[in-house]
Chain A
Amino acid sequence: MNSEHMILGVALTNSFGAHPAAWRLPHVNPEAYTDIDVTVEHARTAERGGLQFVFIADRLFLHGDLAVSNPLFNMDPIVTLSAVAQATERIGLAGTASTSFFEPYLLARQLKTLDVISNGRVGWNAVPSFEPDAFANFGKEPPAREKKYERLHEVMQVVQALWGSWGYEAGKPDQQEGTPIRHM
């Protein structure tokens, strides 16, 4: 990375495009919402151009008017990126996951697993949810702004501490000695 060069990420938030009528174009597969091969193809095209990452935003509730247009968001960003990881080699894989609902251990584990299996290509867009519709899907009421951010700080620090808990120096397994990892 050279500061003379710009960074380009491409938003693949739904499977069609940013225009609400994209799904109606004759050359577009209207089932692309559930067809992972379509998203994989978009990511591969971006990779061919050397784009630094694909990005999948998220909302945890039904967004937009599905009577006339496709869902504005992906079925599930982390699951989708796990599939895209297998079909790409270099391009970064960035996705949104809310800090408001999931236990940090789960977030830490899913995101780091994805980072390991993609050979270090993951970015996490960490956002606190604010929409009452999202909280309703978890049987909750939205908290005050300062409580949302209190949780965000706690989640960020717990997740990153968990990421660091398998130390770099824990080492690689030694079959002769029989010690896969060392206590630090």
Chain B
Amino acid sequence: MTEKKLILGLALHDGSGALNNAWRAPQVNPENYANFEANIRYAQAAERGKFAFLFIPDFPAVRGDIEHGGVRNIIDPMIALTAISQATSRIGFVATGSTSFQEPFNHARQFKALDVLSHGRAGWNAVTTSDPAVAANYGKPVAERSERYQRAHESIQIVQALWGSWQKEAWIKNQASGQYIDSSKLQPVNLQGKYVASRGPLAIPPSEQGQPVIFSSGGPSPHLLALAGRYASGFIGEVWTIEDGRAQRAMVRRAAEEAGRDPDDIKFFAGIMPTVAPSVREGLDRRISILGDTLKAQVPQLANMLGVQIDRRRLDEPLTTEQLSGAYPSRDPRSGIALDVARQGWTVRDILAHGVIDYHPTVVGPAALHADHIQEWFEAEAADGFWLSPDIFEDGVDAFVDEVVPVLQQRGIYPSDYIGTTLRENLGVAEQYGLDPRVVGTED
């Protein structure tokens, strides 16, 4: 048994990058939101770095300031990943699909079709939808939480049952005898829930990994943990500190155990938003040149996080000794990091350029710093792996793959090649076909 290795995934969402204003960076083709070749290039770079999966978060509605912030989540995840599957051979695909507005038969069919035609590389990030803007696009109100999660449990069970309805030994395909399948091994599922139902069967045979891998994502509410514990093999987390990561990973593992599963069958992924540059200074400058005025707008939030007054006109000065001595971390989980950076003596602009208000921990600087961050979290059991949102895809993916990945490999914590050909193998999670016999009953 070799030592446990960490797993990497890449988030793909808008063709430009995770940094605010990334679409305005000079190296980015601003039409990338509709330019598929660019996304394929990023996917191929991630595959060169032996990433286990691409992850498409999804928010099927327009939000935020599209006039200046750019548009995200344009491309339908299923269509995008199917297209990318044709230009890659090892990397897996995790597409987000909501159980709140889609029919299980449709999810079962599209995800298994992608799984089969990509030779066992598909994953489904099964989410519930609580956002009124998304619900409105489906012409419906947001359902109550208990109903959303009940529907999610029913949907996932029906999907998995449909996946298993073409049994593994069903496909005879004997050209001489003329027997195509053994009909006794392709039978209806006849599942009737409170909110969704399906008769089946689904006429799609097993892929090389049997069936798609299920992911969960979000904050660890009891409802989400109950869902993830039963069905998910991957959990896309949102954590800012090692302590958060350890706690959430433990919760997710406990949830799996409570559902009757092996806790190692669910992998916890922490987010990271890397800017790889020869030095910290160059990394900060790269970010400042793109973020521009949006940094100034973050000053009040930083002030709140540290509990101090900060003058917007003194962006290029460090916090004074007085300010620092009065500063304390607020309840915002990012404030501890912000305070650490402030105490290192960076100017206000540089503090913000460190990404202290980003959605995930940000590391800015040379490869070794990124490797240190990842190794520290990994060895502290704060994550089984990481999902990356690079600052700018166009050169950020290459920089991570070509500079950080070799360091991780040298340190012996990251595989030098793909473990197998399927997503399941590369995640190191158990075989599954159809419903998991260990998981019985539904929530409520």
Contact = CB atoms under 8 A, between A and B. Distances in A.
B251 to A, nearest CB: 32
B117 A85 contact: no
A109 B80 CA distance: 11
Interface string A96-113: 000001110110011001
A85 B175 CA distance: 31
B103 interface: yes
A49 interface: no
A174 to B, nearest CB: 8
B24 A175 contact: yes
B296 interface: no
A110 B78 contact: yes
Contacts of A114: 76, 79
Most B Cβ at <10 Å: residue of A87, A109, A139, A174: A139
B188 to A, nearest CB: 9
Contacts of B203: 62, 66, 71, 75
Given A79-B78, A106-B101, A181-B66, A23 B173 contact: yes
Given A79-B114, A113-B75, A113-B79, A178 B68 contact: yes
Interface residues of B, number: 63
Given A75-B117, A86-B83, A60 B105 contact: yes
B420 to A, nearest CB: 19
Contacts of B207: 34
A67 B183 contact: yes
B222 interface: no
Nearest to A173: B30
Interface string A38-76: 001000000000000000000010100111111100011
Nearest to B61: A105
5 contacts: A103-B101, A105-B60, A137-B105, A139-B196, A139-B197
Interface of B: 21, 23-24, 26, 28, 30-31, 33-34, 36, 60, 66-68, 70-71, 74-76, 78-80, 82-83, 85-87, 101-103, 105-106, 109-110, 112-114, 116-117, 137-139, 173, 175-176, 178-183, 186, 192, 196-201, 203-205, 207
* A-B pairs, 6 with minimum CB distance: A139-B197, A173-B30, A76-B113, A82-B82, A136-B199, A30-B173
